[in-house]
């Protein structure tokens, strides 16, 4: 992979040009941003590895996939499209790719055999989505559920926000016409990338959030379900980004991908009807379910994702006001407090409606339940 193909390095010059073009800045501003871009390029190393492969058949309770072979059958075929986030670049193992976490979580919740096919390409922009969808359908047939994660490279490549968002909507529309449900994780907040200095990072934050909002509008119009990664994840990455980033300091590590998968899994389960009204009524009997730690099976992906989100929400929302304001304040970008509404909604949904978590609670010692 050449340096020009590396999105982490390409960010430096492209975003400087974006800032200049967007703000109509003068030469002095350009030189400042160019200087900051050179600094960022030095501190963001070139990726030396490729994403792990995660394709295969995931059965309920299985930690690893069975290789897909002709003649095999599945209950649901999940396809993953998008960029390096969708591909899971930076994850420590194949089992911690976002697509794998979603496939295993869906298999646990539904009891279905889930086939996973990942077509995401490192460095891809929204312009590449039609090709990904077409190539995947030719090679593997039509999906039952599609998950799209794309947007960051549209910002670094200086692609216009409106057309970039519309391309995502068009991809969603094409998949919906083919019979697939679609969940889209919208563009993350690129202002979390601390190696990029100010004011360049502020430009990244503003443009990426604008793109995420525009994507959500187009996704809904096309019949898909958007999940805002920027709103939900930015507070945690701002607070302890070093522990959530991979060594390149640009892509998430396994812990970061667990947070993202925990946000996406409820949407996947809901659109597929795994959590229907009857399930919701049953879940209502276990409102106020106890802490994840110590009660949920250690080998459960759903339990792990729920605990990750629970810890995140508590850290940011259960603190007293003074500490909370410190946690939820993105001082480096725009000085505005950020919420965790989508993260709280996701964890509440997981804990109320998850079959795995309900079964765990129902099998506890009755005396423990009364205490």
Q: Which residues 6+ apart lie within 8 Å of 261 measured at CB? A: 98, 101, 102, 105, 305
What tokens were used for 238? 């701002």
The dihedral through the CA atoms of 283, 101, 215, 170 has a sign that is: negative
pLDDT level of residue 85 (50, 70, 90 thresholds) = confident
Number of other CB atoms surrounding residue 45 within 10 Å: 15
Q: What is the pLDDT of residues 105-138, one digit of tens each?
A: 999 999 999 999 999 988 899 999 999 998 888 8
Instruction: Give yes or no: 300 in active site.
Output: no
Cis check for the bond before 362: say yes or no (omega within 30 of 0).
no
**Segment among 81-95, 141-155, 240-254 with least mean pLDDT:** 240-254
Catalytic residue among 6, 84, 164, 238: 84
Q: Which residue has the higher pLDDT, 19 or 286?
A: 19
Q: What is the band of 9 on the pLDDT scale with cuts at 50, 70, 90?
A: low
Higher pLDDT, 195 or 102: 102
Q: Say yes or no to pLDDT of 208 above 80.
A: yes
Active site residue 181: no
| Residue 168 confidence class, pLDDT cut points 50, 70, 90 | very high
311 is catalytic: no
Query: Any residues with CB less than 8 A from the CB of 45 and at least 6 apart, and which?
Result: 8, 247, 248, 249
114 compared with 44, residue with greater pLDDT: 114
- Residue 224: the pLDDT is 96
What does the pLDDT average to over 22-33? 55
- In the chain the beta strands, taken as DSSP E runs, fall at 56-58, 76-82, 114-118, 145-149, 181-185, 225-227
pLDDT of residue 215: 95
Quick one: pLDDT at residue 16? 53
**Which member of 181, 251, 300, 316 is catalytic?**
251
Residue predicted with more confidence, 323 or 174: 174
Q: For residue 96, how far is the Cα from the chain centroid? A: 12
Q: Are 158 and 18 in contact (CB under 8 A)?
A: yes
- Give the distance from CA 46 to its chain's centroid: 22
Give the DSSP per-residue string, 122-143: TT--GGGHHHHHHHHHHHH---
Residue 367 tokens read as 């005396």
Among residues 219, 113, 120, the alpha carbon closest in space to that of 170 is found at 219
- The active-site residue out of 208, 248, 316, 354 is 248
Q: What is the pTM of this model?
A: 0.75
Q: Which two tokens stand for residue 364?
A: 């506890």
**pLDDT for the residue 205:** 83
Task: Examine the pLDDT at 238 and tell me if it is beyond 50.
Answer: yes
Average pLDDT over residues 296-306: 68
pLDDT value of position 62: 86
Q: Hey, what long-range contacts does 290-297 have (CB within 8 A, 24 or more apart)?
A: 290/361, 292/351, 292/357, 295/360, 295/361, 295/364, 296/356, 296/357, 296/360, 297/356, 297/360
């Amino acid at each position: 992979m050449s340096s020009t193909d590396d999105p982490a390095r390409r960010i430096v010059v492209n975003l400087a040009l974006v800032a200049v073009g967007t703000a109509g800045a003068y030469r002095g501003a350009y030189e400042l941003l160019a200087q900051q871009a050179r600094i960022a390029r030095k501190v963001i190393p070139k990726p030396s590895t490729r994403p792990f492969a995660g394709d295969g058949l995931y059965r309920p309770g299985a930690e690893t996939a069975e290789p897909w072979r002709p003649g095999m059958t599945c209950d649901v075929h999940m396809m993953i499209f998008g960029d390096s986030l969708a591909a899971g670049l930076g994850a420590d193992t194949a089992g911690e790719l976002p697509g794998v976490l979603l496939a295993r979580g869906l298999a646990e919740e539904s009891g279905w055999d889930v086939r996973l096919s990942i077509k995401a390409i490192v460095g891809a922009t929204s312009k590449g989505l039609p090709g990904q969808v077409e190539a995947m359908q030719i090679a593997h047939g039509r999906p039952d559920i599609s998950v799209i994660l794309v947007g960051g490279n549209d910002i670094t490549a200086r692609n216009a926000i409106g057309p970039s968002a519309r391309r995502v909507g068009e991809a969603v529309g094409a998949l919906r016409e083919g019979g697939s449900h679609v969940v889209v994780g919208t563009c993350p907040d690129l202002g979390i990338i601390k190696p990029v200095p100010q004011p360049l990072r502020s430009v990244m934050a503003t443009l990426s959030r604008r793109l995420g909002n525009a994507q959500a509008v187009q996704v809904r119009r096309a019949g898909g379900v958007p999940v805002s990664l920027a709103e939900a994840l930015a507070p945690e990455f701002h607070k302890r980004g070093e522990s959530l980033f991979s060594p390149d300091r640009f892509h998430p590590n396994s812990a970061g991908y667990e947070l993202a998968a925990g946000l996406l899994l409820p949407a996947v389960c809901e659109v597929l009807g795994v959590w229907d009204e009857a399930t919701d009524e049953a879940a209502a009997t276990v409102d106020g379910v106890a802490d994840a730690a110590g009660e949920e099976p250690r080998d459960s992906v759903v339990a792990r994702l729920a605990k990750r989100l629970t810890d995140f929400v508590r850290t940011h929302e259960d603190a007293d006001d003074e500490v909370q304001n410190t946690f939820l304040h993105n001082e480096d970008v725009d000085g505005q407090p950020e919420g965790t509404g989508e993260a709280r909604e996701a964890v509440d949904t997981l804990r109320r409606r998850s079959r795995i978590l309900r079964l765990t609670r129902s099998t506890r010692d009755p005396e423990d339940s009364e205490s």
